[in-house]
Structure 1
C-alpha cells in the first residue's frame, strides 16, 4: 500500500510540475498584448435562415467579368469585396449576396508589413495607431480597420551568407528599391535577388516573388532570370476563417527557394492558405485575382504549377475540378481529396476514443490500439509517447480524484485528429480568443459551418447547417463480420457511442487556456460534454443529426471532390502511417477511386510515395515541369501520363522501388496487392470500417430497415438472424447501406 501511495504521489508531483510549465508555455503563446484585436463587428454580420446552395456546379458557372482594374498601383489597395465568392445560388437561377464574414482579424503586423489602413471610425475591427517618424507605434488611436487593407509595395530580398543554418537560410530585406552598392550587402552579381510584391486582394495578404537581375526597377522589371513559368504556392494546414492570416515572408522564401533558384516566379496569398480558411469559392476568387495581378504586371506565364501541402494539396484537386485552367498542373503534397469528407470521420474520432476510454464494457480489449484501429480504421502504434494533452489530462484526472487513463499505445485519432471536433464543429471554440473582444467572442459562431454559410445555409438562429452525421452507421461492422470483435462488443459500441449535440446546445470546449475555460480541472480533450450522452452511460445514446440540404449543397458547390480531374497532378507523400500521422496514405487511393468511379479510367493523377525519411516533392515538381513542358510543345499527348511521372514508390534514399500502373493495386480495386501496396499498406476510415467503399464520399448515408438489410445480404458472411431484434433496437431508424449513393450526393458534369 505504501508503494502504491508513493507511486501516486510521485505521479501527482510530476504532473503538477508539468501543469505549471504548460501554464506558462500556453500563457506565453496566448500573450498578444502587443497586437491589436477586433473590438466590434458590423451589426448585420449574422445571417438567419439562409438557404443552402442548390445552384449549378461551379464548373458550369460563367464567372462575372472583373470589375477591378489590374494591376494594383503601388501605394494603392487591391479589391476588398470578392468578385463572386459571396454569391449563393438556387436551382431556379436566383442569387443572393451574403455579407462578408466578420469578425476579420488583421494580421499585417505579424507579417512584417505594418499596420492596415484606416477604413472606419466606428471601432469596427482593429485599432490603428499614429506612428512616429521611425515607424514605431504610439498609443494614439487614429481609426480602425475592419477590412485590413494594405498598400501595394515592393521589397527586395537576398540570401544572407552569414545564415547560421544554410539549410534554413535568412534573407536580408530591403524595401522599395534594390540597395545601392554601398548598402553593406555581401552579394555579387550572381546573387539571387528576389523581387517581392505585397498588398491585399479580397482582404487577404498577397505575395509575388520573382528572381530578378541587378538592373531591376519598380517600373522597369529585369526579367532576365525569370524562366517564364509560375508556381502557385498554396501552403496548407487547417483553419476555419475569421482572420486575414499571417504571411510568413522568410518561410515563403525558404520553402520556395528551389523553385526561385530555377527561375520560377511564385505567387501566394493568405486567402488561399487553408491554415486560415477552407472556403473554396473564396480561395478560387482570390487566386484568379492574384493571377490577374501577376499577368497584368509581369506578363502571362507559359504555365502555372500548383504546389502545396495537406490543405494546399486538396485545393488543387478542388480548384482543378471547379475552375479548369486556373492551374495547369499540380504537385499535391500529403493531400486529401477535400475537407468535408475528412471531417465526417474526423468527428467520429473523439466519439470513439471517449467510448474506448470511458464507456466500453470491455475496456481491457479496447486498450490495445490495434483493436481500436479495427473500428476507427485509421493507423495506430504501440510506441506511445505522451504529449502535453496527455499530461494535462492525467493531471486533471488526478485532481478530480480519478485514476487517469494510461494508453498502451496510440491511434491516429488520438495522435493526429484530436481537436478537430472543437475547431471545425464547436461554435463556441476559438483558440485566438485573446485577439477578439469579449462581445465579439460571444457573438460569433467559430466553426467551419459558419465560415461556409453561403454553401451549407443557416438555421433560424443563424447557425451553419451540418452536411454530415452518423445516423445508421454500424461502427465496427466489418470487424464483426470478420470475427475480429464479438457481437457483444459490436452492440455495446453502437448503443453507447452517441453523436454530437446540435449547434445551439454546444458549450465551450474544456481545453483550459486554449479555450479560455475557467477551470483547468475540467480539462478534457474529448469534448464529451458536447456529445449527446454528455459523458454518461445511456441505454441508447442518440446519434448526430445533419442536414440533407447541406450535404447536397456540399456536392453541388464543388466542396466535395467528385473525381473530376482534367489536369496532370502528382499526389506525392512520404509514408507516415506508422507514426501515426493524419496525412495517411489512403487519401491518395480515395482520390484515385473517385477518379476511376467517375470516369472509368485515370489519365491525370499519379501517386508517388516514399519511405519515411525521404521527401520527393521537388522530384515530383521536376517531373511536373517536364510533363507540362512536353505537353506544351506537343511532344507529349494531352491524356498521357509519361513513364517518368507514373505511379511509384521509393526508398529512404529516394531510389525507385517499383513503378507502373499496377503498383498501388489492392483491395480497393479488387486486385491483388501491387508491389508498392505490399511495401506501404493502406489503412482506412471509421466509415469504411463500417461498410463504405474506398471513395469515402458518404456524408449522410441512405438507411434501410434492419430486416431489409439482412435479406439483402448486407451482413454476409455473418449470419445475424439471431441478432435481428437487437439490431432493430439499436438502429430503430435503419442502418447505413453504403451500396447506395449518400444522401445529397450529386452527379457532376463529365470530365472533358
Structure 2
C-alpha cells in the first residue's frame, strides 16, 4: 500500500498562505528548513520509502516549497497536515539518496537518506547463504534440491532475497459461538529435518474469522467497540508479504469502503501495535511463514494492529541482531504505509520471550513494553544450561559415574543427579537434552534421546539430520564435506560473530573451563567426594564441531566481547528502559505434574523453570539497584501457559502502563518515566497451586515461594557456584584451594581434582571473561563485532 498525495495546502486559521510552487529563489542569508525522517533514522531506511517532515525556521513560511530527491521533484507528496508539513517520499534508490528542500523564503537544506533493499540487510551485515525461498505450495526435497515451505502467497519469489509480491485479504469475525481462533487459511507446519516434506494444516471447520467479500453484509458479521469507543463492523484486513527475507502478517480493523493513507489512517486503528514473537529456537536455511497467528481477538477487537514476521520467530531465526533489525524494518514499513505508531507492545513465550528481552537489550526503544511468559533472558546464557545438561546426561551414563554410584537405588541415584543439576528432579536435564541438546550441532548428526526418565538411558537415531534443514549432501562433514554449510546458531549469525582464524567456522561462546559441577551438592552433603571428583574427571566438553571430547570447552574470547557489548547477553541496564510483565507458570519437571494437569505430556515440556524470571530480576537489581520496571505474575496450576484471563489482564495492564508512559513529555530519563508510569495493577502476585479457580491474588512473596509448584530451583552453573544472574559465559580462574571443599575431599581426591583443573577453577567473585556493559544499537554493516551507530543524521544547509 502506497501513499496517495494529499490535498493541496490551504490557508490556516492564522492566514498562512501556503502554495506548492516550484522555482522561487531565496536569499542566501535566509535560514534553512530542517528535514526529518519520521518512521526511522535517515540512515536506517529500507524498502525505498521514507516518511519525511519539513520543519520551517521560526517565523518561516512555506510559500514556494520545493522538495527534490536525486534530482527528481517530489513536492507533490507534501502537504500541511495537523500543523506539520509531511509527505511520503517513494522510489528511493538503494544506498545514499540526497533529499533537498527549500521555500521561497528559506535557504535550501539537504538530508542524506541511506536506503536498504526491502529484502535487507540494514545493519546486521551480509546475509547467510544458502537460503531457500518458500513456494506457493510446499515442495519435497529431491536429490540435492532442498524442500520448501508454503509461503501462504500466490506467487513465487522474484529474486535471491526471496521477495514475494505483497497480498491483501479481508476477513470478518463471526458471531457463531464456539468458533476457533486458529488461522482461517492453511497454517504452516514446523518441519524439523531436511527429508520430510513440509505440510500445511487445514483451516478449522468453524473459524472465528471468515473470508469477507467487499460490499456484502454476512448475517453472522460481528461488531466490535475499540478502546477509543468506536463501534465498527469486525472486518480485518491482513497484509502478507516479505521483509528482510522473512514472511510477515499485518492485521488490523479495516473499512473496505474507505481509503487509508499513512497521513490519514482509518480511525478504528488506535495507532498501537501488538508485535508477536514466535517460540522455540533454530536456524533453518529456509523461508517460513510466521508461527504466530494474527487472529488475536483481545487486541484486534480493541483497535490494535497485530504484527509478526517469521524472522522474528525464534524457531526460524536465532540471529538476534537480524531479529531486532527485522522489527525495525517492520515498524518503518508500518509507519510509511499505515501511519504514525503510538507504541509497540511485544509479546512471546519461551523463544518469543528471548526475542522480546533481546530487543530491549540490543535495540532499546523498538519495543515500548513487553508481556512475556515462560521467559528466558537471552539465548547465549540459556545455552549454558542446555550445554551443561547435555554433558551431564552423557556423563551419568559413563562407566566411571555408574561405578561411583553402584549400589544406589534408582531414587537415590536420581536424587544425586537432581542435586548436581540444581533442578527439581533429574528430568529437567532430560528435557533439555531431548529438545535442544542437538541445536548447536554444526553438521549432520544422529540425534540422541533420553528414552527412560528413571535410568537416563539414551537411544541414538539411525537417520542423519541437520539444523539447516538442507539435504545432508550440502551440510558440513569433517571428512567428506569440510566446506559444507555449518548449521549452529553462531554459524547462522557469522556476520555478527565473525570467523575464527581458519576463516571457516564462526566464533562461539561455549565454555565450561574451570566449572566444578556439583560443588554445592558436595558441600551440602548431597554427593560424596568421590562422586564429585569422578564427575568432573569424566564430564569433558564439546569441540568446535559440536562433538563430545574429554577436554573442557573453550570459548573464542572475541565472541565473548561481542556477546556482552552487543547486548546479546541480555543487559539489565538496557532492560530497565522497558516495562515488563512476566507471567511464570510451572514447567520444572517431566514427571512431577502440577494440579490442573492429568499427566505428561499435557502442557509440560520440562524446560521453563521457575528460577528464570528471578534471574532476569537479579540482572536488573545488580545493574540498577532495583527491578521497578519488572512485574512477575506466578501461577501454580495448569502448567506454564498463562490462562486467557491472565493474558488479557497483562495486555490491558501494559496498555495502561504504556499509555501513561507515552503521555510523559518530560525530559526525565526513560528509566524514571517507566517507573513513574507504572499502574497500580502492575505489581507482583501469585495464584497458589491450591487455588482451583486461580482467582485469589497472593501478594506475600514468602507464601508464593512456599508453594511447591512456585518454588524456585537452580541450574548446574549455580550449583557449581555461579550467580543467579546466569550471565557469566566464561569464568575467570583461581588456583584449586583445599579449604574451599570444607574437608569433603581426601588428599588423593584433591590431587585428582587438581589434575582436572590444571589452569584453575572458576572464581565467581569476579566478572566473566569479556563481561562488559552493553552498548546497544550497533551496526555490523562494516563487519563482525559491530560499531556503535553514529549520531543520527540531520539536515544541513546546502
TM-score under structure 1 length normalisation: 0.70
Residues 1:603 and 2:643 aligned together = no
Aligned to 1:372: 417
Aligned to 1:197: 239
Distance 1:323 1:136, change over 3 A: closer
Distance 1:605 1:164, change over 3 A: closer
Measure the CA separation in 2 of the matches of 1:684 and 1:128.
39
Q: Between Structure 1 and Structure 2, whose CA radius of gyration is higher?
A: 2
Aligned to 2:495: 454
What per-residue deviation string (whole Å, max 9, x for no partner) do you get for residues 46-101 of structure 1? Answer: xxxxxxxxxxxxxxxx9934254337999x99611211111xxxxxxxxxxxx311
Measure the CA separation in 2 of the matches of 1:143 and 1:230.
28
- Matches for 1:489-638 after TM superposition, within 5 Å: 489-503=531-545, 530-532=547-549, 541-564=550-573, 565=575, 566-579=577-590, 581-613=606-638, 615=643, 616-634=646-664, 638=674
What per-residue deviation string (whole Å, max 9, x for no partner) do you get for residues 290-342 of structure 1? Answer: 00111112111221111111121122222112222211111122110100011
1:606 alignment partner, SS class: strand
What per-residue deviation string (whole Å, max 9, x for no partner) do you get for residues 145-196 of structure 1? Answer: 532111122111224566875465625565xxx5134597853566521111
Q: Is the 8 A contact 2:271 2:341 kept in 1?
A: yes
Distance 1:326 1:681, change over 3 A: same
Q: How far 1:205 sits from its partner (Å)?
A: 1.0
Measure the CA separation in 2 of the matches of 1:423 and 1:574.
25
Measure the CA separation in 1 of the matches of 2:699 and 2:776.
29
Aligned to 1:423: 439
Q: How far 1:745 sits from its partner (Å)?
A: 1.2
Residues 1:704 and 2:740 aligned together = no
Residues 1:318 and 2:358 aligned together = yes
1:688 alignment partner, SS class: helix
Residues 1:79 and 2:118 aligned together = yes
Aligned to 1:19: none
Residues 1:104 and 2:120 aligned together = no
What per-residue deviation string (whole Å, max 9, x for no partner) do you get for residues 362-404 of structure 1? Answer: 1554843332111112332xxxxxxxxxxxxxxxxxxxxxxxx
Q: Is the 8 A contact 2:529 2:744 kept in 1?
A: no
Q: Indicate which of 712, 732, 744 corresponds to 2:770.
A: 744
Q: Indicate which of 294, 302, 306 corresponds to 1:253.
A: 294
Measure the CA separation in 2 of the matches of 1:618 and 1:416.
30
Q: Is the 8 A contact 2:497 2:507 kept in 1?
A: yes
Q: Is the 8 A contact 1:333 1:571 kept in 2?
A: yes
Q: Indicate which of 275, 283, 296 corresponds to 2:336.
A: 296
Q: Indicate which of 643, 659, 675 corresponds to 1:639.
A: 675
Aligned to 1:687: 717
Residues 1:236 and 2:272 aligned together = no
Gaps of 5+ in 2: 1-40, 51-87, 94-115, 183-205, 224-231, 446-464, 591-604, 666-671, 778-798
Distance 1:465 1:65, change over 3 A: closer
Measure the CA separation in 1 of the matches of 2:154 and 2:354.
40
Q: Is the 8 A contact 2:246 2:287 kept in 1?
A: yes
Measure the CA separation in 2 of the matches of 1:721 and 1:434.
51
Distance 1:655 1:109, change over 3 A: same
Q: Indicate which of 623, 646, 650 corresponds to 2:687.
A: 650
Measure the CA separation in 1 of the matches of 2:208 and 2:632.
34
Q: Indicate which of 732, 748, 752 corresponds to 2:758.
A: 732
Q: How far 1:501 sits from its partner (Å)?
A: 2.7
Q: Is the 8 A contact 1:551 1:743 kept in 2?
A: yes
2:675 alignment partner, SS class: coil
Distance 1:347 1:620, change over 3 A: same
Q: Indicate which of 226, 235, 240 corresponds to 2:269.
A: 226
Distance 1:305 1:720, change over 3 A: farther
Residues 1:468 and 2:510 aligned together = yes
What per-residue deviation string (whole Å, max 9, x for no partner) do you get for residues 10-32 of structure 1? Answer: xxxxxxxxxxxxxxxxxxxxxxx
Measure the CA separation in 2 of the matches of 1:750 and 1:149.
29
Measure the CA separation in 2 of the matches of 1:240 and 1:633.
39
- Matches for 1:108-507 after TM superposition, within 5 Å: 108-109=135-136, 145-159=159-173, 165-166=179-180, 168=182, 170=207, 174=211, 179-181=213-215, 186-187=220-221, 191-213=233-255, 215-216=257-258, 223-248=266-291, 252-254=293-295, 256-359=296-399, 360=401, 361=403, 362=405, 365=408, 367-368=410-411, 369-380=414-425, 411-429=427-445, 430-431=465-466, 436=471, 438-439=473-474, 443-459=484-500, 460-503=502-545
What per-residue deviation string (whole Å, max 9, x for no partner) do you get for residues 670-699 of structure 1? Answer: xxxx22222211111111111101111111
Distance 1:63 1:572, change over 3 A: farther
Measure the CA separation in 2 of the matches of 1:234 and 1:696.
23
Q: Is the 8 A contact 2:272 2:304 kept in 1?
A: yes
Q: How far 1:259 sits from its partner (Å)?
A: 1.1
TM-score under structure 2 length normalisation: 0.66
Q: How far 1:222 sits from its partner (Å)?
A: 7.1
Distance 1:550 1:182, change over 3 A: closer
Q: Is the 8 A contact 1:366 1:372 kept in 2?
A: no
Distance 1:207 1:699, change over 3 A: same
Measure the CA separation in 2 of the matches of 1:604 and 1:433.
38
Measure the CA separation in 2 of the matches of 1:433 and 1:448.
10
Measure the CA separation in 1 of the matches of 2:170 and 2:254.
9
Q: Is the 8 A contact 1:498 1:542 kept in 2?
A: yes
Q: How far 1:204 sits from its partner (Å)?
A: 0.9
Measure the CA separation in 2 of the matches of 1:715 and 1:638.
45
Q: Is the 8 A contact 1:335 1:587 kept in 2?
A: yes
Q: How far 1:716 sits from its partner (Å)?
A: 4.6
Moved more, 619-628 or 410-419: 410-419
1:253 alignment partner, SS class: coil
Distance 1:154 1:647, change over 3 A: same
Larger helix proportion, structure 1 or 2?
A: 1
1:626 alignment partner, SS class: helix
Measure the CA separation in 2 of the matches of 1:143 and 1:199.
11
Measure the CA separation in 2 of the matches of 1:588 and 1:569.
11
Q: How far 1:495 sits from its partner (Å)?
A: 1.0
Gaps of 5+ in 1: 1-61, 87-98, 116-122, 130-134, 381-409, 507-529, 533-540, 664-673
1:687 alignment partner, SS class: helix
Measure the CA separation in 2 of the matches of 1:371 and 1:109.
53
Measure the CA separation in 1 of the matches of 2:310 and 2:505.
26
Aligned to 1:27: none
1:602 alignment partner, SS class: coil
Distance 1:720 1:456, change over 3 A: farther
